[in-house]
Structure 1
C-alpha cells in the first residue's frame, strides 16, 4: 500500500488541534520507507513552525538508548547483566545494605531494583555530574527488596549511565554518540542544551498552552531522559532494534519478558530490557514513552511487521492525542486494531474501599487516598524538586474489579489505572503511573 503522506499531515494537524497540542512531529517506517510530517509550532510565544528537522525532548525514551549502551558493552564481554552494580561502581550505596550488594544491572534496566527512584537532583553542569549523583544515592530507600516487584525508577538509569562512564572511560553524552549516534548516522540527536540550540528546538507548554517555566531537566538526569532528537532519528534508532547487526548482534534479547507488571493497564503487560512489552491484535509491540517539562514522546515498534513509529509533541492532551494517532495509523497501514484504553465498566462494581484509604509516599510524590460516599478519591502532591514542575492531580476512582480502579482529573479525556496491592505479610502498595508507592499510614 502506498502511503499518502499529505493525508497524514492533514490528520496530524487535525488531531493536534482537537487535543490542544501546540506542535507535533511524526515519523514512521513502513514497507521499507520512512515517512515524515509535522504540525503546529515549536513555541506558542515565538510562533516558530515545527519542521521535520526540529528537535524535541524525547524524555524517558532515552532509557531504551541507555539500556542499549549497556547491552553493547555486555555483547563485547565488558560486563554481564547479572553483575552487581557495586562490582563496577564500588562507591555505589543505597540506604539498605543488602540492596547495595544485591542490585544488578538487570535490576536497573528492568525497573526491579526496588530503589525509590524519582530523585531529580541537580548535581551541576560539569562532566562529573553522574558521579556526584551516584554519591548522593546513599540515602535512597527501598520500596521493596531487589527483584521482588516492578516500579519505574529514574535513578536506576542514571546509575546505569554512570556504569557506562566507568566502563568506557567517557562521559555518558560522548559514549552515547560513539556507541549509537555515530554508527547509525544520527546527526540530529543531542543531549546538551548548547548542542540542541544549534537547531530548531521545541519548548514545552503547560495546560493553558503557554510556554513552560523551564526548558529542561538537570544534566544529571541525562541517561534517564535528556535526549533531544528528530522523529526520524528516533525511528532510525527503533529500526536498529529490529535489525540484527545494525547495533546489537541480537536485539531480540532486549524484548524478551523479564517481569510481569503489577499494573498492566498503563502501556504494557511486561517489561523487557529497557522496553515496555505488549500485544496488539496478535502482534508484539515494544514501546517506550517519555515526559519532560511540557513535552511528550513515544516510540512504538512492531517487530513482526517491521513498522516503527515515533511521535513527538510539546504540550496539550498528550495521551489522548497519541492514542488517536496510532490507532488510525496502524488501522490504515496494517488493518491492526489498537486495544481501547481502560475505562469504567458499564455496570458499577461494588468494592469495600476502606482498606485502600491512607497515605502512600515515595520520592517526589505523596498520594492521599480517601473515601467519600463509598468511593475513593486519589490526590497526588508533588514533593522535592518536582514542586512547581509537576501539578497536583485529583482522581475520582471507579472500581473495575476488587483491586483495580480508574480515574481521571478534571479536563482529562483518558482514564488512568490504579491498582492496589495489599500484602497480608508485608506492606501495601498503590501501583500508579508505573510506580509502586508504599502505604506509609
Structure 2
C-alpha cells in the first residue's frame, strides 16, 4: 500500500506549530520502497524550507551504526563479544579491579558495564578515544558489571570505538566510513560536523514557550567525545539504509552483505531488561532497544542532541521501518503522532499509550525516600502524607537558558510497587516514568529514569 504523501504532509504541517518544532523529515521503508517527505524550516532565522534531503543530527541513534561496525569486527574474528575488554585493550582499567577484569564488549553494547561517565575533558583531537580510555582508570562503578542496566551516553561506545581503532589502525571516523558508510552508499552521513554541507544542514532549536516560539540552540553540536555514541548526522533516506541492514538480515539496500545474518540475530536477540521499561521499551539489545507493542516486537533507535532529535522504529515481521528527524523538541507525543499516521496508512497497529497509574499509595514510603545521584544529576525522593514526590536539581546553565527554576518537583503516581508516573510540571513537558528498585538491604538502591541509573546515597 503506497503512502498518501499529501495527507501525511498535511498532518505533519499541522503538528509542527502545536509542538513548537521548526521542521521534521519523515522516511518510510515498506515493501522494499522508500518514501520520504518533510515540512517546516531548517532555521527559524533564515526560513529555509526543510526537504527530505535535509541533514539532521542523529544523537544516540549513532550507537546503532557503531554497533553494526563492531559486529563486522566480530564477524571477522577480530573481537569477541564475551572476551574481556582488556584482552583487546591491554591498558584498559577502571577504579574497580574486578570490573576491569570482567567488562566485555557485550556489557558495553548492552549498557550494563556500570562505569560512571567519568573521563575528564579528552579534547577534540584525533586521539580523543585513546585519551578517554586512559582517563577512565579512576572511574568508579555505579553497579557491578552485568547486574542491571544504566545508559552510557558516551563512555561505553567510546571504548568500542577504541577497540575498532586499535584493530584497524585508523581513527573511528575513518573506520566508520570504510566499514559501513561507503558499503551502504551513504554520501550524506557523516561523523564530523565540519564534513556536512552547511547549506543542507538543519539548525537545532530549543523552546521555552509556544508563545515565544523556538530559538536557535546555543550548542551547535556535541563534543567529539560523544562521537561513537552521538555525533552522526544523516538524512531520513540514509537512516533507512541503515535500518535496511537490520530488516534484511545484514544486507545493504543494493544487496551487498554488510554484516552476517548471524550478527543481526545476535544484535536483536541478545537482550537485557530495562528497569524503567516505559520510555522506549522493556529490553536493550546490542545497539537497539526492543519494544513490545501489545505482543508485537519492534526495534527502536533514538537520539537527541541539544536541539535536534531522531527516532527510528523497525518492524521486523513486515520489513518496515519509520524514521522521524527533527530540529526541535523532543516531544514524544509528536513522534508518536507522526508514526501513528504512517502506520495507520499501512494498516499497522499504533504504538501503545503511556502507563495508567493506580489509585493506591505506596504501603511504606520510606522504602523509596532518599537522595539518588549519578555524577552531575541529583534526584531527591520525599514523602508527604503518604504521597511520594521527586525533586530534580537542574544544571544552573540549563535552568537559565530554558527559564526554569533550579529545582523541579514532580508528583509520583504509582504504576506498580517499583514504577511511577510523573505528570508534567510545564506545558511543554511530557509525562515521565521512573523506577525505584533493588530493595535487598531495605530501601531502594537505584533510581532509573530516562534510561539512566542513579545510585542511592547512604
- Please, what TM-score do these two structures have when normalized by structure 2? 0.91
Distance 1:435-1:317 versus aligned 2 partners, 3 A rule = closer
2:149 maps to what in 1? 150
2:293 maps to what in 1? 280
Distance 1:305-1:349 versus aligned 2 partners, 3 A rule = farther
Note if 1:353 corresponds to 2:365: yes
1:281 deviates by 3.9
Alignment match of 2:452 (pick from 420, 427, 435):
435
Task: State how far apart, in whole Å, the 2-side matches of 1:325 and 1:105 are.
Answer: 35
Note if 1:333 corresponds to 2:350: no
Note if 1:28 corresponds to 2:33: no
How many residues end up aligned between the 2 structures? Answer: 439
What CA deviation, in whole Å up to 9, does each residue of 1:389-441 have, x standing for no partner? 89765422111222211113322453211111142248710111112211014
* 8 Å Cα contact 1:364-1:385 kept in structure 2: no
Task: State how far apart, in whole Å, the 2-side matches of 1:324 and 1:253 are.
Answer: 31
Note if 1:211 corresponds to 2:216: yes
* 2:182 counterpart SS class: helix
* 8 Å Cα contact 2:8-2:341 kept in structure 1: no
1:97 maps to what in 2? 97
Task: State how far apart, in whole Å, the 2-side matches of 1:87 and 1:379 are.
Answer: 42
Gaps of 5+ in 2: 209-213, 252-257
* 1:80 counterpart SS class: coil
Task: State how far apart, in whole Å, the 1-side matches of 2:398 and 2:160 are.
Answer: 22
Note if 1:262 corresponds to 2:275: yes
Task: State how far apart, in whole Å, the 1-side matches of 2:108 and 2:380 are.
Answer: 28
What CA deviation, in whole Å up to 9, does each residue of 1:141-182 have, x standing for no partner? 111111111111121111111111111111111111111110
Task: State how far apart, in whole Å, the 2-side matches of 1:388 and 1:244 are.
Answer: 47
Deviates more, 1:286-295 or 1:405-414: 405-414
Task: State how far apart, in whole Å, the 1-side matches of 2:75 and 2:400 are.
Answer: 42
* 8 Å Cα contact 1:349-1:401 kept in structure 2: no
* 2:247 counterpart SS class: coil
2:79 maps to what in 1? 79
Note if 1:423 corresponds to 2:439: yes
* 8 Å Cα contact 1:349-1:400 kept in structure 2: no
Gaps of 5+ in 1: none
1:18 maps to what in 2? 18
CA root-mean-square deviation: 2.1
What CA deviation, in whole Å up to 9, does each residue of 1:266-308 have, x standing for no partner? 2111111111002224421011111111111111111111101
Distance 1:384-1:147 versus aligned 2 partners, 3 A rule = farther
- Aligned pairs (5 A) from 1:34-433: 34-117=34-117, 119=118, 121-154=120-153, 155-208=155-208, 209-246=214-251, 247-250=258-261, 251-345=264-358, 347-382=359-394, 393-407=408-422, 408-412=424-428, 414-425=430-441, 428-433=445-450
Task: State how far apart, in whole Å, the 2-side matches of 1:326 and 1:363 are.
Answer: 35
Task: State how far apart, in whole Å, the 1-side matches of 2:103 and 2:345 are.
Answer: 44
* 8 Å Cα contact 2:308-2:330 kept in structure 1: no
Task: State how far apart, in whole Å, the 2-side matches of 1:39 and 1:394 are.
Answer: 36
* 2:301 counterpart SS class: strand
* 8 Å Cα contact 2:361-2:387 kept in structure 1: no
- Please, what TM-score do these two structures have when normalized by structure 1? 0.94
Distance 1:352-1:410 versus aligned 2 partners, 3 A rule = farther
